[in-house]
Amino acid sequence: MSFFKKLKDKFAGNAEAEESTEKYKEGLTKTRTGFTSKINDLVAKYRKVDEDFFEELEEILLQADVGFETVIELMDELRFEVQRKNVKDTSNVQSVISEKLVDIYQAGEAEMNEINFVDGLTVILMVGVNGVGKTTTIGKLAHRFKNEGKTVMLAAGDTFRAGAIEQLDVWGKRVGVDVIKQSEGSDPAAVMYDAVRSAKSRGVDVLICDTAGRLQNKVNLMNELQKVHRVISREIPGAPHEVLLALDATTGQNAMLQAQTFKEVTDVTGIVLTKLDGTAKGGIVLAIRNKLKIPVKYVGLGEKLDDLQPFDAQKYVYGLFAEGLDKEQQLEDAEVDK
């Protein structure tokens, strides 16, 4: 059974899942436009799967920012699978690539992309440098959780950046959730203390905490985040339950460097990859997951509130290969009709 057919069967009759799959298809248009056209050209150039075909395929994947280690692993898997299945025709390779990309991403941890909600108050700490869409992401997450029936509160812990508190306050009003804040320049840990106490007293389900994104070096960053951690965990043992790192997909390998830096100074539990719709190098999702072993929990696929989608490896890979997989399925259906 082809990758496309498996995906179609999995979400058949589920309108929400089918809508989400379409969002991936639309959101990955920029990546797919360059990526798919190159794959198609490669398939047209080579009629049989040989070493020259693999070498050019490797180059295409590297150009999509899939990452060197991931590409090497994928090529080894592909060579084995092509030999095992005795695939000769290059037109049959796309489905094999798709399945292997999903396998590499999931690596036996398919459910790691889900948020770790707990009974009582769930505290989510949002970290990331300025300009990656951190505040917007917080607003969109608040909107999503509220629509799921949860009560949500925000904490304006980025007290250093001019306008950051006001920006979060605007998002709070937009999605209809309360924002705990103090004046600009206040101690972020004091804001977190107030926010946690307030969320507990009001019986809130989810508290999403913004943090500063412009700290001069790793030592300052580590000290600030450790202080915030201590305040939160003192009030709620085991919290924060998630530390989500916002990364801008359009920055490519720079996003990888940011992820490595934050991983060194705090326990990042998941990635929110913003602006995936704005890049032609959407393969960065696979590079982050495979190299840093941090799951991507949400991806930004557009500007609308519901365009921040929970990450799904199958939908993502389908978004990368949509036209080719659709065509492959049509050919399969035609063969069955004969």
Q: Give binding residues for GTP as ranges.
A: 128-135, 210-214, 274-277
**Tokens at residue 299, please?**
């991806």
Feature table: binding site: 128-135, 210-214, 274-277
- Edge-to-edge strand list for the sheet holding 242-248: 178-180, 152-155, 206-210, 122-127, 242-248, 270-274, 296-300, 308-310
CA 57 to chain centre: 24
DSSP 40-65: HHHHHH-SB--HHHHHHHHHHHHHTT
Distances in Å between the Cα of 105 and the Cα atoms of 30, 81, 109, 315, 326 are 21, 17, 8, 12, 22
Element (H, E) at 98: helix 93-106
How many whole angstroms separate alpha carbon 66 and alpha carbon 60? Answer: 9
DSSP annotation string for 197-263: HHHHHHT-SEEEEE-----SSHHHHHHHHHHHHHHHHHHSTT--SEEEEEEEGGGTHHHHHHHHHHH
Strand 122-127 and strand 206-210: the pairing is parallel
What residues contact residue 206 under an 8 Å CB cut-off, 6+ apart?
A: 117, 121, 122, 123, 124, 142, 145, 150, 151, 152, 153
**Is the distance from CB of 178 to CB of 208 less than 8 angstroms?**
no
Rounded CA separation 179/317 (Å):
37
